[in-house]
Structure 1
Amino acid sequence: MPRLPSRLVRLLILGCLGTAAGCGAGSDAPTTEPVASKRLVMGMMPKLVGIPYFNACERGAREAADELGIDLVFDGPQTDSADQQAAMIDLWIGKGFDIIAIAPNDPVRVAPALKRAREAGILVVTFDADADETASGRDLFVNQASAESIGNSLVDVLAEGIGGKGTAVIVTGTATAANLNDWIAIMKRRLKEHYPEIELLPTLVPNEDQNRARQMTADVLNAHPELDGILGITSLALPAVAESVAASGRSGEIFVTGLSLPNVVRPYLENGTVKKFVLWNPVDLGYLTVAAAKQLAEKKLNNGVQPVGRLKDVDVSEDTVILGPPIIFDETNVELYDF
């Protein structure tokens, strides 16, 4: 079962002691009105602010915060900097936040700051990407989908698109992002075991820089005219790849897929550069992060499949919560989603 942070344990003990003292005070003891519960203050930090994916996460987070009576601060670095994330965590510790949720840019470099938060009695949650569990001591990881389901879905869509053989390349994001590296490892294994006739070129690492991703894609297109498929596995990488392929005049010739938002990829579906792509609902991920943190703080988050707020069939296992399987988007269903 997910751990309850020491700060909340102390509050519960003090509450019980206060109740016990009141019960033994005798009939002459003054009666008091119940004290209203303090609103939880939660800081939620994306890998970086200002991009559509984390804007969608913020939308869901604020929905849950409003619904559950949580004071939410949603903020983060302007670039994918783990050092800036660590500095902001320390700032939030000093302000006495009750909960800190973070999508780490580096699972190791943010861990000491998260450990300091835990030692201060703050409940620590990761979402989208995990921190080093041992070094950080984090309480809960809210995962959008299992790494296996994401990596396998990406490869299966690629293989279908290029006929199970050919040459492909992955365009990733931040080199140290744990979730991206896990997906890449699973993708490589899937290719080796199920699609041995697909050759994978060295992974391109533009970090979370869309201009750089566009340029790196253009460079690999020029260097490898035999290229059959490209996987852009971040919400910034996929549209950058699609834009470069469209600009090269090779839309429909090179199969482009990956992970991004329907509202971002829709123009590339319309012009034929992208046929299918993969994601989950980031609005729901933001909502789940806040709602699960609240349930954990109240010691109401138990193992098993259960509703969490408005979300049904959420899988909770020890210290991990999974939103659900990834979604495959194409022209038949993309209009059903608005994020």
Structure 2
Amino acid sequence: MNRTPRGRTRARTASTRALALGVLLATLAACGGTTRDDEEERDDSPAGDATADPDAEYASDLSVAMLPKSVNNPYFEASSEGAEQIAEELGGSYDYTGPSEASASSQLSYVNTLSQQATDVLLLSANDPNALCSSLEQARALETVVVTFDSDVAPECRDVFVSQVDGEEVGRSLLEMTAEQIGGEGEIAVLSATANATNQNVWIGIMETELAENPDYADIELVATAYGDDEDEKSFRETQGLLQAHPDLRAIVSPTTVGIAAAARYLQGSEYGGEVALTGLGTPNQMREFVADGTVTEFALWDPTQLGQLAVYAGAAVSSGIITGAEGETFTAGELGEYTVGADGVITLGPPTRFDAENIDDYDF
């Protein structure tokens, strides 16, 4: 999509954008939809060919909003802290808002509202790869830069995706930790977030491929995948259900911070504590007590605070014309260093860190 760098031209006001949104919605209702090519040909689409200027400066008055899968989630709260810090350092404003439940439909109204409010940069962790695309395209037509982080949408629906880590690396790390903790054999189960979560499904898919093709895991069987919808109590119940349905279960892998903490809490107070291994993705602060008492031996994660920081820098870089999201472009993200845009507009934070009793107290997030 063509875009005029917001750092150079900011003629569109909130009221004008709201009016344009109404026109766009009416047009969509009449025509039954639109495509990106159609959008580029519209008179009210952003004008000018987008070209990257790596020497441009970050705009100083950007409004940034983060829309997580769900609020009241320690992982996203940490990401929000990092995002707010950088937004304010760049001289902009910041808002953190979202649904209390992790579902695609629950995010829809927030996308529309933020677009109407003339938000310059939307940071989105999506609950579904496709459900929000129409609304995101409408927001982008009104010059909101859409940056997905943590969990992506279809590439054509956003400007860039800030990935916490290479998806294949996460899947392999999860399986490696699991195999090490159960001696390379036995039944395992996955406790995921939502069934449509893009990142979760990528990681689980890598695990399934490794189990099917890697001889190192020939004696490990994935017997079930349960979904806690990133809700603490549901994840707790799903853990109980997995253990009751599979009495020979050796390990649970939970690639979600809500899920792993809920599963650890269940194991801690049950006969399975110390008998069934638990690993996955969690923050050191929420998992510290479970590592200390032996409920969990090892888990992994990246720094969610840095993920939020990088997401803001990426969005500000697009909005300011420093990058367009094309492969090979580079930008400097403050103290995080220089980053290069990869294929499909993906920007990767870095490798995951494994946490255990030896190093967990070295981290505070």
Which TM-score band applies after superposition, normalised by the shorter structure?
0.7 to 0.9
* More off after superposition, 52-61 vs 219-228: 219-228
Is 1:84 equivalent to 2:106 in the alignment? Answer: yes
2:9 corresponding residue in structure 1: 11
Q: TM-score, normalised by structure 1?
A: 0.87
Q: TM-score, normalised by structure 2?
A: 0.81
1:224 corresponding residue in structure 2: 246
Size of the alignment, in residue pairs? 313
Is 1:165 equivalent to 2:165 in the alignment? Answer: no
Match of 1:140 among 154, 160, 164: 160
Letter in 1 for 2:61: R
Once residues 4 and 67 of structure 1 are traced to their aligned partners in structure 2, the CA distance between those partners, rounded to angstroms, is 28
Letter in 2 for 1:121: E
3-state SS, counterpart of residue 257 of structure 1: strand
| Structure-2 change in CA distance of 1:312 and 1:110 (3 Å) | same
Larger Rg: 1
Is 1:183 equivalent to 2:203 in the alignment? Answer: yes
Once residues 293 and 57 of structure 1 are traced to their aligned partners in structure 2, the CA distance between those partners, rounded to angstroms, is 15
Match of 2:335 among 310, 313, 316: 310
3-state SS, counterpart of residue 142 of structure 1: strand
1:259 corresponding residue in structure 2: 281
Is 1:328 equivalent to 2:348 in the alignment? Answer: no
Once residues 352 and 104 of structure 2 are traced to their aligned partners in structure 1, the CA distance between those partners, rounded to angstroms, is 27
Q: Could you report, residue by residue, the CA deviation over 1:85-117 in whole angstroms, capped at 9, with x for unpaired residues?
A: 111111111111111121111111111110101
Once residues 224 and 82 of structure 1 are traced to their aligned partners in structure 2, the CA distance between those partners, rounded to angstroms, is 31
Q: Could you report, residue by residue, the CA deviation over 1:178-212 in whole angstroms, capped at 9, with x for unpaired residues?
A: 11111110111112222121011120112112111
1:20 corresponding residue in structure 2: none
Letter in 2 for 1:219: G
| Structure-2 change in CA distance of 1:161 and 1:315 (3 Å) | farther
Letter in 2 for 1:225: P
RMSD across aligned positions (CA): 2.1
Is 1:52 equivalent to 2:74 in the alignment? Answer: yes
3-state SS, counterpart of residue 279 of structure 2: strand
Q: Could you report, residue by residue, the CA deviation over 1:59-87 in whole angstroms, capped at 9, with x for unpaired residues?
A: 10011112111211111111113223111
2:31 corresponding residue in structure 1: none
Give 5+ residue unaligned stretches, structure 1.
15-36
Q: Could you report, residue by residue, the CA deviation over 1:112-149 in whole angstroms, capped at 9, with x for unpaired residues?
A: 11010111122111111101123x2x111011001101
| Structure-2 change in CA distance of 1:10 and 1:115 (3 Å) | farther
3-state SS, counterpart of residue 179 of structure 2: helix
Question: Is residue 7–residue 121 contact of structure 1 (8 Å, CA) maintained in 2?
Answer: no
3-state SS, counterpart of residue 89 of structure 1: helix
Once residues 273 and 313 of structure 1 are traced to their aligned partners in structure 2, the CA distance between those partners, rounded to angstroms, is 39
3-state SS, counterpart of residue 182 of structure 1: helix
2:30 corresponding residue in structure 1: none
3-state SS, counterpart of residue 225 of structure 2: coil
Letter in 1 for 2:333: V
1:96 corresponding residue in structure 2: 118
Once residues 4 and 102 of structure 1 are traced to their aligned partners in structure 2, the CA distance between those partners, rounded to angstroms, is 21
After TM superposition, give the deviation of residue 313 of structure 1 in Å. Answer: 5.1
Match of 1:40 among 62, 73, 85: 62
Once residues 225 and 116 of structure 2 are traced to their aligned partners in structure 1, the CA distance between those partners, rounded to angstroms, is 40
3-state SS, counterpart of residue 236 of structure 1: helix
Question: Is residue 5–residue 118 contact of structure 1 (8 Å, CA) maintained in 2?
Answer: no
| Structure-2 change in CA distance of 1:289 and 1:9 (3 Å) | closer
Letter in 1 for 2:198: A
Give 5+ residue unaligned stretches, structure 2.
13-58
3-state SS, counterpart of residue 116 of structure 1: helix
Once residues 254 and 168 of structure 1 are traced to their aligned partners in structure 2, the CA distance between those partners, rounded to angstroms, is 9
Once residues 273 and 164 of structure 2 are traced to their aligned partners in structure 1, the CA distance between those partners, rounded to angstroms, is 30
